[in-house]
Amino acid sequence: MIIMDEKYIEEVEHRNFSLAREKISQGAKVVGVYCAFTPCELITAAGAIPVSLCGSSSDPIAAAEEHLPRNLCPLIKSSYGSALTDICPYFHMADLLLADATCDGKKKMFELLNRIKPVNLLHLPQVPDRESSVALWLSELYRVKRLLEELTGKQVTDEILRETISLYNELRKVTRQVFELNRGDIPLLSGIEMVSLLDSAGFEVDIQGAIDRIKEGIEYATRRGGIQARKRILLTGCPNTSKKVLNCIENFANVIVMENCGGYKTVVDLTNEEGDTMEAIARASLKIACPCMSPNQRRFTLLSDLIEEYSIEGVIDLTWQACHTYNVESFALKDYIQAGMGIPFLQIETDYSGNDLGWLGVRVESFIEML
């Protein structure tokens, strides 16, 4: 029986780590990534292993603050600190880092990170729905393709890339199915269980293995049946790397669906499997509704759809401290959801530490009681 908790994640990561070492011994290369915009299809098609390196622990932040400002995003500090202290085995394994130019904090951190391991910065255009943006991003992806072919010695043919696109589309489909388990009146998964089932896919050495494992989780949840019905919350905002806010919410309510970075927004659209494969990847990734895009109307539309489809009673927006991109957008988002749709909205700005857990609990409990 699958138990989707921290122990489950540890078991999956241990298995992936062992498989990664086996593949590396056979000549495979490891490519570290930091954002959903990075074309993992290209990495996999080149025969390399893509691994997510976003920091989720507060432990290495003190080391990072010797080089970085204290009032910087904790995700950035945790990511850099993990590299600086060499505590992340996947970072240690990585032959190359691909990093998207999304927020200013990350861009400048990547310059320091380049002292530790080679970083190749992808210049992400940040005006969506323009053909000029597609053309610029496509040129970047072709550059990455050549870089990966040089790294692995393997040519990324159109046939291989099309097969890889299909594989990742299947991963997106089963990920959406996990969220859809909670569309009914009685949810089948808690937010913690969803994260446990889906997060480790970012470290999945075998993509088909990730798909099969997620399908097992769906079957398990369906057999088990519903969980306790409580107030239905949609969690949006920054990546749910540290689980402190999610845990806090689930003390009082059910997190039914997560639109955060790494959540539903990254799987809502499939990549076109017909026509030009490189252009299909470029167009699909530019649709991701990240606040680094301006304007970012797709996020507002997506949240509106999720609120309706999942019968959401309240929206909580997670903002990591000093993430100005998400923080600024939260003002307009609150107006859109609370004033425009009549759905209560709560923004939480916090860091990775446990110093404010009591205060967070009071705010969340009061918000849930208000619903």
Alpha-carbon span 112 to 169, nearest angstrom: 34
Distances (CA, A) of 49 to 39, 54, 110, 123, 142: 12, 16, 20, 22, 19
Please list the ranges in the chain whose pLDDT falls under 70.
1-6, 200-204
- Structural domains of the chain in order of their starting residue, each with its CATH number: 26-157 (3.40.50.11890)
What size, in residues, is the chain?
371
Strands laid side by side in the 314-320 sheet: 254-258, 232-237, 314-320, 345-350
Angle at 214 between CA 220 and CA 236, to 5 degrees: 105
pLDDT of residue 2: 57
What would the DSSP string read from start to end of 28-81? --EEEE-STTS-HHHHHHTT-EEEE-----STTHHHHTTTS-TTS-HHHHHHHH
Tell me the torsion sign for CA atoms 67, 71, 73, 78: positive
Alpha-carbon span 236 to 57, nearest angstrom: 20
Angle at 5 between CA 31 and CA 196, to 5 degrees: 40
Strands laid side by side in the 49-52 sheet: 49-52, 30-33, 96-100, 119-122
Closest CA to 232 of 190, 263, 175: 190
Closest CA to 250 of 258, 261, 239: 258
pTM, two decimal places: 0.95
What are the contacts of 209-213 at 24+ separation with CB within 8 A? 210/171, 211/167, 211/170, 211/171, 211/174, 213/12
Alpha-carbon span 285 to 289, nearest angstrom: 9
